[in-house]
Amino acid sequence: MIERVARPVAPEVLAPRGPASERASAPEGRGGFAEMLESQLEAVNRLQARAEEEAQSLARGEVENLHQVMITAEKAQLALELTVAIRNKVLEAYQEISRMQL
């Protein structure tokens, strides 16, 4: 079995999408984090869907550039791995806080 080596995700994968006015409309501390989290999860989902579409196109013989398909699949994989790692860290922090005595 091939072991995967974790590599940093490119900044464009995590960059907020949409006009700057939409990103700046939410005041700091009031739903900004939730909106940012939701937009990042949607971005990861879009990457996964695009990778799946390109893989299907490759299987049908419609794609000539195998490298682009592999790059798209790797971006989607890295974004998913980062999302899972962040989720794990958030859960660890929550568990640590819940164990604290008041």
80 is in which domain, residue-wise? Answer: 31-99
pTM: 0.63
The Cβ of residue 77 has, within 10 Å, a number of other Cβ atoms equal to 14
Q: Is residue 24 situated within a structural domain? A: no
Q: Is residue 26 situated within a structural domain? A: no
Query: Based on the structure, what is the number of domains in the chain?
Result: 1
pLDDT tens track for 22-77 = 545 545 545 788 898 899 999 999 999 999 999 999 999 998 889 999 999 999 99
Q: Is residue 19 situated within a structural domain? A: no
The Cβ of residue 40 has, within 10 Å, a number of other Cβ atoms equal to 19
Number of H helices, E strands in the chain: 4, 0
Model pLDDT, residue 21: 46
Q: Is residue 16 situated within a structural domain? A: no
Q: Is residue 41 situated within a structural domain? A: yes
